[in-house]
Structure 1
Amino acid sequence: MLCEICLNIFRGSCPVEYTQHHDSIESLQRSALEDCEICRTLWNDPFCYSSQPSSEHVQISTETIVKEFHDGTGTRQVHVEANSHEYTREFVFICELAGEDHKNSDAHKPPASDWAASMACARTWLAKCTETHTDCQASGFKSMTYCPTRLLEIDQPEANKLRLRLCSELDDAPPQYVTLSHCWGTSKTLRLTSHSYQRFRDGVNVSELAKTFQDAVFAAKSLGIKLLWIDSFCIFQDSKEDWQHEAALMSQVYRHSFLNIAASIAVDSDAGCFRERVSTAERSLVQTTWTDYPNGTYYLYYDHYWVDNFASMPLKKRAWVVQELALAPRVLHLCGSQLFWECHGLDACETWPIGPPPNMWVDHGKLRSRSASIEVFGFHRTGYNESVHISTHENDRFNTDTFRELWKHIVSDYNMCDLTFPSDKLVALSGIAKHMEQLLKIDYWAGLWAFDLIPELIWTIREPSIPKPEADTIVYRAPSWSWACMDGEVDWIAWRGQFLVDIVCCDIRTATADRTGAVISAALQLSGWLATIEIRLNSKRWDIYLNGRWTSWGGANIHLDRPLASSHLHCLPLEDHGLLNILLLTPTGVARGQFQRVGIAMVGIEAFGLEDCDQLAHVTNESWLEYQSISDDGKCTITIV
């Protein structure tokens, strides 16, 4: 629905220049609370009005303009510009012409409180997925080849109970089961422990479970599925050994599930997902009555509707869920106001049951769109025991550039998510890493890939989170040369040039036999031209001391991982692409020639006072240069930990 002020946009003279909309924050708030779609979108914007603690004192005005959308379909855009003394933002609403079939599809909406009717919509998605999606059928075939160690049997030993079963006890093995992705939170709920084991074996009442788990049982039953895997009930929570064993199987559990239920809206186990709704998810239908512009019946929607109503769910902030959503063949998201669906063949929600309209921003380029990520990597295009060969040929579907792009999106999304235990940094991504490692037959080194290691070392963290200096708060989780030692959005330098270092060896010790899991220590030995360097920031320009001279180098691009304890550093050029990509290192003081990474730099060879990279062996260094050994060509062997 729209308020009278918003309806006026579509009446009389069409606003082809910016015209007055709401003239006060009180007027905007009133319309938003009355459920006007345009005003509610503005009011709920996290950087806008409702989030401001003193919003009643913020003077705002909004203006509108209608623009032609030049795609030949008669689509229009309504641009709403919100202005305050400290904030300006433009919101874009799409007016898409509605055909008669679309108008009729909205004629019979179920009651808002009827979540059973919503689950009927989910059954339709599931049926279409399993019956008509070729890629999803291929994934479904794989789901029949594995059985988790333990599963929960719904309505056993009697109705409204849940019983823990071992895989070996099930009549149909491997069985069809669903998994649950959820936020743990801090709530103290019933979990599987050595003390509660027999209780689960005998059967617990569903009503004894936390609300989020009750909703997961309801969703599974509504889809006609009787077996459910939930980590807190299928892994012993008081056994480190069982947790390590089962954590190593996560890729199998989620890859071979029939469906993953995502408790996307629930911030913890008690929050629940099927909430009371004021109205069902509807599309706003607008009939224009302009006197000076072509009229029609339009669907009106915010172009970032998908992102605002789905991509920002609480569950998406949980690091563990990245691999769960990526590996599952299909996902049903419980989002509080409506259901969302993702599989290889369809992204949909109750508002848009056959998929988002073409002009809606869904962000298919990132892992948030599972279908896109799996399509790029081709998880579903190989047989169960087949592998994919990585090639550098530009026409090969699985070339290194394709792989790099996917891994970049996975890591960037993952590294911005939250972990309760920092030591889980590599463990919570090991499911995806393990699947890639097995599928592509490549080695995984603490978050990086051996075949592509040198360019992968040139990562940066946007707005890095600096650990607290107290020793008892710092938990080792990865070597300094891996992005996994830090938090924040990861980016890699896109250039690929001539490599200037050689990999001597990499010694990685893991906590268990799982080579993709938790790392205890990791030492990377490289051979290359090493130089002493000092850097200092001078009026937003970097001063660099290299090869016996200071250079004021405005073009130097330097990214530090953390504040420096000393300006005396070592630099190791990794590759030359016109500029040099360089690792910045500091000695550990534990052993000669052992370093930690403290950042990267991109500088021209002229910063060294040289003409080309062949002269790097002749750089004049300070007396504090150290290394493990040096070859006849001037290359130093060092170890980075």
Structure 2
Amino acid sequence: MAKLYPAIVTGALHTFQQNEEHRCIRTYLSNTSMPVPNDLDHLAVILGTSWVIRTLPFLDIGKQIPKTTSSDESLSWAIQQINHCRDSHQHCNSYLSAAILPKRVVFVGTTAEPALRLYESQGERDFYICLSYCWGRRPFLRTLFDNLESHKRCINPDDLPPTMHDAIEYTRQLGVHYIWIDSLCIIQDSVLDWREEAGKMASIYQRSYLVLSATSSADAYGGMHVSLPSDYQTFALTVNTKTNEICDSNIADQANFPMTTNTTETFYVRRTYDHVNRGTSSYAGRIPMLPTNKRGWIFQERFLSSRVLHFGPHELYFECLEDSACQCTDHSNSSLDQESVLGSKGGGVNETTPQQSHTDNFQQHSSMRKTIAKAYYGPVVWRIMTRDELMYAWHNMVHDFTRRDLTYAKDLFPAISGLAREMSVARAALHGNADKAYGTGYYAGLWKDSLVRDLCWKVGFENIATDDEDEVKRIKAWTDRALGWRAPTWSWGSVNAPVKFLGQEHGTKDFFTPLCEVLDVSSTAAAGSDEMGELITGRLVLRGQLLPARVTHPRLKTCRQDGLRLPWQILSLEFGVLVENFVQHLFVDDGCQDLLGLLDEMDAGGDPPVVYCFLLGVVRKGGSPVFLLLKKVKGQSEEEVGQDVYHRFGRLQLTGPPRRPKNDRTPWKERFGVLAQAKEEVVTII
């Protein structure tokens, strides 16, 4: 069979290479010695016989799918997944008894008697569907004060963009009478109505019967449905089982696949499809950056809802709290098993050393967020996690969320308020306070019971590489503070950038010991806003070691004139002593724009500006101290007028010396002699 395997694959590759449309096809041969061209995509075997599966064990096994997601076959498949979830999944259905309808929903009628109007509910219970989609920049019909009453009477379907039109028709086909669409069910020119409904949005999605996700559509005009591209057609390969040679190959008739004979075996190959999620199977279709994966609001819409039906680039993809399935592979990925997700109830940390536990736990969480994202970012798994695991989950969530775009900067906290509430319930339960959703304290995206560790965030661009021009524009736009005030500077919510937390950049959860005290922390929500939503103030008071320093850079004096954005890699700090025994890892929050403002305050002699390093704690692996980088500003509030307060502008970590002997047991405080200059201070950061 070792001889047969390369012969068949060679024939398959030859067949695809003869077709101009299939030059990018590649087969997966990780366990063979056969050389494979690097510029070809994966193959998938579909409708393979037992002989093919036994003989070609390393080829992905897929299924043929309908030519369009709007077909009757696709609808039947979707209904099958929904029914399977409804009948089999305890976790999904704990949320899905007929819920109280949202304040407003769109009544869609039936397929036989379609009707369309905005309905203001009276507290009754019924099933409803939600639409998750990208708005885009082109204007489309929305509910405003001026058309609210007319929408209650009738909405003209011809006035709706294709995505909404498709979603409404699909809702009818599923036999559901109501759909919730944000642009129609929230009065878009009412700040108060928007804040009120935005605070409920998480529960609206969470209690919906199903979420329809227009995953491949870049805006409201893209529609939900897709047709299978011609370069994903299926090829039939017939093998002579006696000579091990390809005796026939052609484009397969999808309606009439040829059968296996006594001397031949026929199997079918096609390109693998792009997938919304990797899942736990070995099926190796890539995960593209689809439009909905770029949008901030859609993040919690996906992870809070019990069921989501994605209209992907090639097929339908279904995921719920316990399972996931796509049209091109066998049902299912069996994504949620509480005994295997975290090892055991109450957490997955085994009885090992603390450092091993943190490292193993981090690797486990990294795997979970890739393979069972919907289960990982949701209440079912969160409620069986330990405190440390909840911290890891939140850090991972923030990292993934901050890589997404928001049209309005002020929406950042409202866009994850539902997830924050679920996280709060899970954390409160660990403190014996399960009935108080805010018992553990949530402040501007950070948690009181892990606050010092949560402060150890940094802007993380290192692993973002792309040739996409739009992606490059997004990355360039990320590097500033949010326009206007959105969050206090100590919060990751104050920057427009992807955020990483201590340990994520190293691939391990470093064992961290806090060395400062939180005296006070507060944040104030905007009027009418959800308590975990839009903010207007934030304040943090810490007691700990404060170390003055000066920022140095060869072009610091001229960067203001030439508009230079200084990368953190070429900045350093002077501490007033000769520094030879450690390495500085200095991470600036906003492309050094905060530092440029300090140039106006430079000493008359041209000395670099003074900044302050506040010691947060130490990473035990090697004894590496971690600091907040602060600059002084004048207080603005009544209680702060005339006082020195601080803004955060970065994070500093000291390591080294780079070539320290392995048997060196010198205490970290002695190795970092610069700390002798630090003094205990109380600092207020805003």
| TM-score > 0.5, shorter chain as reference | yes
RMSD after superposition: 4.3
Q: Is the 8 A contact 1:467 1:474 kept in 2?
A: no
Aligned position for 2:294: 317
Q: Which amino acid aligns with 2:654?
A: V
Out of 294-303 and 243-252, give the one that drifted further: 294-303
Q: Which amino acid aligns with 1:321?
A: I
For 2:25 and 2:326, the matched residues in 1 are separated by 18
Q: Residues 404-553 of structure 1: matches in 2 within 5 Å?
A: 404-441=391-428, 442-463=440-461, 474-494=483-503, 495-512=510-527, 513-536=529-552, 543-546=572-575, 548-552=576-580
Q: Which amino acid aligns with 1:128?
A: H
Q: Which amino acid aligns with 2:188?
A: Q
For 1:583 and 1:549, the matched residues in 2 are separated by 20
Aligned position for 1:639: 684
Q: Residues 63-74 of structure 1: matches in 2 within 5 Å?
A: 66-68=29-31
Query: Does 2:116 align with 1:116?
Result: no
Q: Which amino acid aligns with 2:48?
A: A
Query: CA shift at 1:257, angstroms?
Result: 0.7
Q: Which amino acid aligns with 2:75?
A: M
Q: Is the 8 A contact 1:500 1:528 kept in 2?
A: yes
* Correspondence for 1:215 among 160, 166, 175: 166
For residues 471-521 of structure 1, what are the alpha-carbon distances to aligned partners after superposition, in whole Å with 9 as ceiling and x for unaligned? Answer: 9x8222111111111233321112233211100111312213522111112
Query: CA shift at 1:138, angstroms?
Result: 2.6
Query: CA shift at 1:398, angstroms?
Result: 1.8
Q: Is the 8 A contact 1:256 1:328 kept in 2?
A: yes
For 2:130 and 2:364, the matched residues in 1 are separated by 24
Q: Residues 236-275 of structure 1: matches in 2 within 5 Å?
A: 236-275=187-226
Aligned position for 2:588: 560
Aligned position for 2:624: 579
Taking structure 1 as reference, are residues 11 and 550 closer, same or farther at Cα in structure 2, changes over 3 Å only?
closer
Aligned position for 2:37: 80
**TM-score, normalised to structure 1's length?**
0.74
Query: Does 2:139 align with 1:188?
Result: yes
Taking structure 1 as reference, are residues 617 and 545 closer, same or farther at Cα in structure 2, changes over 3 Å only?
closer
Query: CA shift at 1:136, angstroms?
Result: 2.1
For 1:446 and 1:365, the matched residues in 2 are separated by 24
- Indicate the percent of aligned positions where both proteins have the same amino acid: 22
Give the 3-state SS of the residue equivalent to 1:128 in structure 2.
helix
Q: Is the 8 A contact 2:105 2:119 kept in 1?
A: yes
Out of 488-497 and 413-422, give the one that drifted further: 488-497
Q: Is the 8 A contact 2:105 2:179 kept in 1?
A: yes
Taking structure 1 as reference, are residues 600 and 225 closer, same or farther at Cα in structure 2, changes over 3 Å only?
same
Query: CA shift at 1:32, angstroms?
Result: 5.2
For 1:371 and 1:470, the matched residues in 2 are separated by 32
Aligned position for 2:275: 306
Aligned length: 549
For 2:480 and 2:369, the matched residues in 1 are separated by 39
Q: Is the 8 A contact 1:544 1:550 kept in 2?
A: no
Q: Which amino acid aligns with 2:387?
A: T
Aligned position for 1:233: 184
For residues 69-107 of structure 1, what are the alpha-carbon distances to aligned partners after superposition, in whole Å with 9 as ceiling and x for unaligned? Answer: 6xxxxxx9984313xxxxxxx85556699345999x999
Taking structure 1 as reference, are residues 288 and 188 closer, same or farther at Cα in structure 2, changes over 3 Å only?
same
Q: Is the 8 A contact 2:582 2:655 kept in 1?
A: no
Q: Is the 8 A contact 1:254 1:327 kept in 2?
A: yes
Taking structure 1 as reference, are residues 455 and 285 closer, same or farther at Cα in structure 2, changes over 3 Å only?
farther
Gaps of 5+ in 1: 1-8, 43-63, 70-75, 83-89, 383-387, 389-396, 622-633
For 1:278 and 1:595, the matched residues in 2 are separated by 56
Gaps of 5+ in 2: 54-60, 247-263, 277-284, 336-362, 429-439, 463-474, 504-509, 555-567, 599-608, 636-641, 659-665
Query: Does 2:100 align with 1:146?
Result: yes
Aligned position for 1:601: 652
Out of 493-502 and 207-216, give the one that drifted further: 493-502
Give the 3-state SS of the residue equivalent to 2:586 in structure 1.
strand
Query: CA shift at 1:401, angstroms?
Result: 2.5
Query: CA shift at 1:279, angstroms?
Result: 5.7
Aligned position for 2:606: none
For 1:335 and 1:347, the matched residues in 2 are separated by 14
Aligned position for 2:372: 372
For 2:402 and 2:130, the matched residues in 1 are separated by 23
Give the 3-state SS of the residue equivalent to 2:95 in structure 1.
helix
